[in-house]
């Protein structure tokens, strides 16, 4: 049964912001690891039903996952946003879901961790958005948002946006973070997200 199996996740954190500036990161690599593991454990019973996993045999048996998280600045995320979304401006977070593209399925892939994709967060934009709450909460909010995108969630309309924001709120509460101001701020800052 899925819930009884332990969920494992390997998060490769690339800190190109705090380390470069000689600053202590508000979220440690170990905390990111714990957060993503708790989030995936909570989401696992449902996310495997997502259409993004169609065509991937054995995905329901996966209990090990990998993803990368890059903490960067506005200049780098603007380059990525221009290249991949054709929007030449910084943004707070980008998610590149590995399972949105076809790749060869090998027989032993079910034995390997399932690579979910890449998350890139602009710490500069996160700092701007975190004026009314701690930066660590903003980073967690953006990480949870991007994880949901990696798992096939999207927000093309108000109804789906609200469902996604409620799920993000639930994920942050799982790791002991308050979310009241985050959700209202996100909704005000992204009225057509």
CATH at residue 115: 3.40.390.30
pLDDT tens digits, 3-60: 445 778 999 999 999 999 999 999 999 999 999 999 998 987 676 555 555 555 555 5
pLDDT tens digits, 83-140: 999 999 999 999 999 876 655 555 555 677 888 999 999 999 999 999 888 999 999 9
What is the domain count for the chain? Answer: 1
pLDDT tens digits, 60-91: 566 788 999 999 999 999 999 999 999 999 99
- Binding-site residue numbers are 145, 149, 155
Residue 75 lies inside a defined structural domain of this protein: yes
Count of CB atoms within 10 A of residue 114's CB? Answer: 21
Phi, psi torsion values for 164, nearest 5 degrees? -70, -40
Q: What is the pLDDT, as a whole number, of residue 181?
A: 58
Residue 126 lies inside a defined structural domain of this protein: yes
Q: What is the pLDDT, as a whole number, of residue 112?
A: 79
pTM beyond 0.75: yes
Residue 137 lies inside a defined structural domain of this protein: yes
Report residue 2's pLDDT band, with 50, 70 and 90 as the boundaries: very low
Mean per-residue pLDDT, 176-185: 69
Contact in structure between 142 and 94 (CB atoms under 8 Å): no
Closest CA to 16 of 115, 118, 121: 121
Residue 193 lies inside a defined structural domain of this protein: no
Residue 191 lies inside a defined structural domain of this protein: no
Q: What is the pLDDT, as a whole number, of residue 187?
A: 59
Residue 192 lies inside a defined structural domain of this protein: no
Residue 153 CA to residue 105 CA, distance in Å, equals: 23
Residue 102 lies inside a defined structural domain of this protein: yes
Gap between the terminal Cα atoms of the chain: 36
| CA distances from residue 169 to 69, 165, 166 in whole angstroms, order as listed | 20, 6, 5
In degrees, rounded to 5, the angle at the alpha carbon of residue 126 between the alpha carbons of residues 139 and 160 is 70
Q: What is the pLDDT, as a whole number, of residue 3?
A: 45
Contact in structure between 96 and 67 (CB atoms under 8 Å): no
- Binding-site residue numbers for Zn(2+) are 145, 149, 155
Domain that holds residue 142: 2-186
| Better-scored residue on pLDDT, 184 or 116 | 116
Q: Does residue 183 have a pLDDT over 70?
A: no
């Amino acid at each position: 049964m899925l819930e009884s199996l332990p969920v494992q996740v390997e998060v490769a954190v690339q800190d190109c912001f705090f380390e470069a500036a000689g600053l202590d990161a508000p979220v440690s690599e170990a905390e990111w690891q714990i957060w993503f593991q708790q989030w995936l454990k909570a989401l696992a019973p449902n996310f495997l039903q997502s259409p993004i996993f169609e065509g991937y045999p054995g995905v329901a048996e996966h209990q090990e996952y990998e993803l990368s998280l890059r903490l960067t600045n506005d200049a780098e995320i603007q380059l990525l946003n221009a290249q991949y979304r054709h929007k030449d401006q910084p943004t707070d977070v980008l998610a590149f879901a590995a399972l949105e593209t076809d790749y060869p399925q090998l027989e032993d892939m079910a034995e390997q961790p399932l690579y979910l994709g890449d998350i890139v967060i602009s710490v500069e934009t996160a700092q701007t958005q975190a004026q009314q709450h701690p930066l660590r909460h903003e980073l967690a909010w953006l990480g949870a948002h991007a994880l949901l995108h990696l798992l096939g969630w999207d927000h093309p309309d108000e109804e789906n946006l609200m469902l996604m924001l409620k799920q993000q709120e639930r994920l942050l509460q799982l790791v002991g973070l308050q979310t009241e101001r985050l959700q209202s701020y996100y909704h005000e800052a992204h009225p057509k997200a």
